[in-house]
Structure 1
Amino acid sequence: MLIAGLIGGVVGTMLAQNGRNGSVGVLGQPLPGVEEGAAPTTPVEAVAARVLPSVVQLRVDTPGATGEGSAMVLSADGLLLTNNHVVEAAAQSGTVTAVFDDGRTAAALIVGRDPSSDVAVIRAQNVTGLVPVELGNSDSVRVGQQVVAFGAPLGLGGTVTTGIISAVDRAVNVGPETGANTPTVLNALQTDAAINPGNSGGPLVDMQGRVVGINSAIATTGAQGGSIGVGFSIPVNQARRVAEELERTGRASRAVLGVTVEDNPQQAGAIIREVVPGGAAEQAGIRPDDVVLRFGDQRISTGTDLQAAVGSRAPGEVVDVQLGDRTVQVTLIAAPN
């Protein structure tokens, strides 16, 4: 027993010394080399390399609070696109600071904002050499298509997540839970790419790195507001029209149908309750108690669906409206300023 104990002690000492002198396992192996400037090896990596230089983190400071959000570069001299609800609090008394991918920071001023579409255009001051995004065509987006979301969730700038388009033409209410003072309804792209507070205003892009949407809202199951894989983005075609008007005039026009609607849980469609005299609906022959089933190529199940569909169009557009017993053509008019 004494000899066995002595041998065991010697072996244990030798093993301990070997452990201190260097492992014979993977811990003792050298690190792989770093390939400087190596080309991206995955599609998402390639998209991230292309888009990240155009993504901006926003810090919004007001007398009573501090907020954060995201934006994307529209021009090399500092024009940025974001959500209205990101910068709305700073419109009266507050400041917006843009933090760029290369580490530069700049004060940003609001050029124009539109609560009804939740779009805003701002300009970073005294900057040059920024990398603008490439805008895609959101009308070509398909359910199941892979997309990549960019932004600064929870203040973590340069965050990249990926997923698919889960649905198109999704009617989404945006209100105080997103930080918006003015409630509105969006006709949105739905995605399961992780979007969290702070992502708002950042780009949703296709696998060519082209912007197809502005990350704007999420569905949640509790007060914490974290991602559950149900995020919503404003289609870029809608945002582009609004942004062009905001840059040019500081305000945006909004299409209206000229009706009030109600829902019947037992019946699909938006039920027309009242028709505004002289409005687009009356001129097209729409009457109270008509039921709207389709607006253009969009199926209408509720009044919210109809509100979102109308809001996604421009004044002057001509749209086929399918009612319960007939189809009419409506020329949308602009809402009064």
Structure 2
Amino acid sequence: MTVSRTRNATAAAVVAGLLMSGCSSSGSGNSGESTTQAAPMAANDLQGDYQQVIKTVLPSVVQIDASDSLGSGVVYDDKGHVVTNAHVVGKERTFKVTTATGEQELTAKLVSSYPEQDLAVIKLDNPPSGLKAAKFGDSTKAGVGQIVLAMGSPLGLSSSVTQGIVSATGRTVSEGRSEGSTGATIANMVQTSAAINPGNSGGALVNLDSEVIGIPTLAATDPDMGGSAAPGIGFAIPSSMVKTVADQIIKDGKVTDSGRAALGITGRTVLGDDYKPAGVAVVEAQKGGGAAKAGIEAGDIITKLGDTEITTITSLSETLAGEKPGDKAKVTYTRGGADRTTDLTLGEM
């Protein structure tokens, strides 16, 4: 399974084998009557919760027109900063932004983009009075089964809301390397069953406390099914990472501390004798980087990081996504057909 970005210019995809089934319960006597009477009240309470969350958060979700694509964004502060995905802004530097009411089209400029985490910050040229910043929650507290709402502009339909649950946490996911995609490998993503479609990218994944816990970014794809959308399998960048990146961009104009581990190499996937991916060839070991300090050279082929087999650039990126700068790592590589191992200290991306 792969994933695709979800700006409006690109379709997200279908995963084979998804099954849905209903469940029912039966009863008799007074206990059955009590259940029947309680259900409408519970449904009304939940509906009221949904409507309150939408009323609170939706004014902070905007539509972003980046010339060749449409995406979504979330108002980050009352100064007009809006956080979105790097693949939404692409190479553009100026944007048209439409608020949730749809009554006012604003202009904005890029502050900075950080493709490695698929995040970007833009700033409204003239923030309107009463601009409401969203409240960002603690994504580390997100739990499987938690009810969430996804807000954005799927297929250009601004101010759309879908509902689902947190399906999993801690996912490491790589974007497909298609045109317009950053190809980023992102750790600790929140998986959700809330529908995420093209145009939802950069919007808000919100809990019932009206807190943004993630930025919807990717939808699952299955190449065997023609790359069409996979209902109920979407991924959001956790709010903890969003805040880390956005705060640095707003303060310094760029990301100064990524918190992401790196070997300090430029590499490419190589094939074995069976024409299957067999490792990552080092094209360059950057001077002063962890790999160079450990004696790894251009031409070496990395096959393991710790106990994890490395067959492609993507598998190396996904393994590194679970590490931190300063961590110690054992690297297995081949040189001249002979296997070697070395211990090194991971650097920072």
SS of equivalent residue, structure 1 residue 116: helix
Q: Cα offset for 1:138?
A: 2.3
Q: Are residues 224 and 289 of structure 1, via their aligned partners in 2, closer, same or farther at CA, if it must alter by over 3 Å?
A: closer
* In 1: Cα distance, 2:226 partner to 2:172 partner: 23
Please give the per-residue CA displacement for 1:223-257, whole angstroms capped at 9, x wherever unaligned.
68544222121122222222222223333245422
2:172·2:321 contact (CA, 8 Å) conserved in 1? no
2:92 partner amino acid: A
2:238 maps to amino acid: P
Correspondences of 1:279-294 after superposition (within 5 Å) = 279-281=289-291, 291-293=304-306
**Map of 1:44-193 to 2, 5 A cutoff?**
44-61=50-67, 65=68, 67-91=69-93, 95-102=94-101, 103-127=103-127, 128-167=129-168, 168-176=170-178, 179-180=180-181, 182-187=182-187, 188-193=189-194
> What is aligned with 1:28?
none
Q: CA deviation at 1:144?
A: 3.4
2:107 corresponds to which letter in structure 1? A
Structure 2 gap segments, 5+ residues each:
1-43, 273-277, 333-340
Of residues 239, 242, 249 in structure 2, which corresponds to 1:236?
Answer: 239
Kept in 2: contact 1:204–1:215 (CA 8 A)? yes
Following TM superposition, by how much is the alpha carbon of 1:218 offset from its aligned partner in structure 2, in angstroms? Answer: 1.2
1:252 aligns with 2:281: no
Equivalents in 1 of 2:130, 2:51: separation in Å? 23
- Higher RCO (C-alpha under 8 Å, 6+ residues apart): 2
Distance 1:176 1:123, change over 3 A: same
Q: CA RMSD in A?
A: 3.7
Q: Is the 8 A contact 2:305 2:319 kept in 1?
A: no
Q: Encode CA deviations 1:76-100: one digit per residue, 9 max, x unaligned.
A: 1311000111111423xxx411111
Query: Do 2:95 and 2:109's aligned partners in 1 also have CA atoms closer than 8 Å?
Result: yes
Distance 1:289 1:106, change over 3 A: closer
Unaligned 5+ runs, structure 1: 1-37
TM score, norm. by length of structure 1: 0.68
Distance apart, 1:153 and its partner CA = 0.2
- Which of 311, 317, 320 is the matching residue for 1:310? 320
Q: 1:301 to 1:151 in 2, by over 3 A?
A: farther
Deviation track 1:119-139 (CA, whole Å, cap 9, x = no partner) reads 110011212321111112223
For residue 221 of structure 2, give the secondary structure of its aligned residue in structure 1: coil
Contact 2:147 2:165 in 1 (8 A): yes
Partner AA of 2:84 in structure 1: T
User: What secondary structure, in the 3-state scheme, does the structure 2 residue paired with 1:176 have?
Assistant: coil
What count of residue pairs does the alignment treat as equivalent? 280
Distance 1:279 1:71, change over 3 A: same
TM-score, normalised to structure 2's length? 0.66
